A = this chain, B = another copy of it.
Amino acid sequence: MRLTAEQIASFHEDGFLVLQDWFTPDEVDLLRTETYHEFGNDQPGRILEKNGAVRTVFAAHKSNDVFSRLTRLQKMAEPAAQLLGDEVYVHQFKINAKLGLDGDQWEWHQDYLYWLKEDAMPTPNVLSAVVFLNTVDDFNGPLLLIPGSQKMGTIDLDVEKKYQQLDVAESWKPTLTADLKYKISKRTLIRALENSRIVAAKGTPGFVVFFHGNTLHASAGNLSPVDRLSVFISYNTVANALQPIANPRPTFISERDFTPIAALPDDALLAPRNGHSSPQREQLASLAG
């Protein structure tokens, strides 16, 4: 199998697993080229920062062959299946830009809270695999995680709201607004850090982080001139398929086709086959090589 027993145990202990050098420089070049290509497309899945720079592009795997193949590579889908213990499909796909000087922060949150509240995903047995396309250091907004925070379970939002009201009442804050809809209170963050710490996921281009749906994570703004591009692939198990709801979110944000992935060989990103290639993409791949 792809991951060792130690790596699997580490994921279940910490709520995340960092894999250095998971993609080659040629693969990273191709993914980076395709990423900037997607940023230039004015499409419904493209979300902007407050300052107008690109923040996120959703669902590029539905229209872009390279990203489609990326989600199906054995080295991505197999670890996801191993860590979740079941066949997987892609619940959500997004590219986060965090451009040099423009990339804003993401506050502390659990991904699963969104998928529970917005999409009726039954359990938190879901994870995200993030491919980082640049060197990530302390200054370009590394992904921050709290080891073991997934063991707190899914956070109760009614309690969080009460905590936040208390925090405001006890502080000098005339007003309070939350950027994120399902924001974690300061009290809960302090509790998560009582026997843990904040860890920054750093590495060279092509490293990958797998993290559990309940793992608390955040990232600071990018104060370096270096972009910090990352591709988030959220894998869910077929057994944990979304329940039917009245007004589901668009499928470019929340997939409702639960067909499990038919994995591709690891070299399929640069050497497409099985009808998943196109002449234009092959040319790009060859240029990137």
Contact = CB atoms under 8 A, between A and B. Distances in A.
B173 A102 contact: yes
Contact of A200 (B54, B138, B186): B138
A224 interface: yes
A108 interface: yes
Interface stretch (A16-24, A45-53, A58-66): A45-53
Interface string A190-207: 100100001010000000
Contact of A101 (B101, B138, B174, B186): B186
A219 B220 CA distance: 10
B48 A174 contact: yes
Interface string A77-119: 0000000000000000000000111100101100000000000
A74 to B, nearest CB: 33
Contacts of A225: 186, 189-190, 193
A283 B90 CA distance: 63
Contact of A220 (B99, B107, B221): B221
Interface in A193-237: 193, 198, 200, 218-221, 223-225
Overall SS of chain A's interface: loop
Contacts of A176: 51-53
A221 B144 CA distance: 13
When all copies of this chain in the complex are counted, the total is: 2
Given A101-B107, A101-B186, A189-B101, A40 B172 contact: yes
A177 B50 CA distance: 9
A52 B105 contact: no
Contact of A223 (B144, B172, B173, B224): B144
A173 B52 contact: yes
Contact of A54 (B139, B172, B193): B172
Residue with the greatest number of chain B CB neighbours at <10 A, chosen from A172, A174, A175:
A172
Contacts of A274: none
A52 B101 contact: no
A104 to B, nearest CB: 9
A115 B44 CA distance: 44
Nearest to A189: B225
Nearest to A193: B225
Contacts of A4: none
Given A186-B225, A220-B220, 5 more contacts: A39-B172, A52-B175, A53-B172, A101-B108, A144-B223
26 contacts: A40-B172, A48-B174, A50-B177, A51-B176, A51-B178, A51-B179, A52-B173, A52-B174, A52-B175, A53-B173, A53-B176, A54-B172, A99-B171, A101-B108, A105-B220, A105-B221, A107-B223, A108-B223, A138-B200, A141-B220, A189-B225, A190-B225, A193-B224, A198-B224, A220-B220, A220-B221
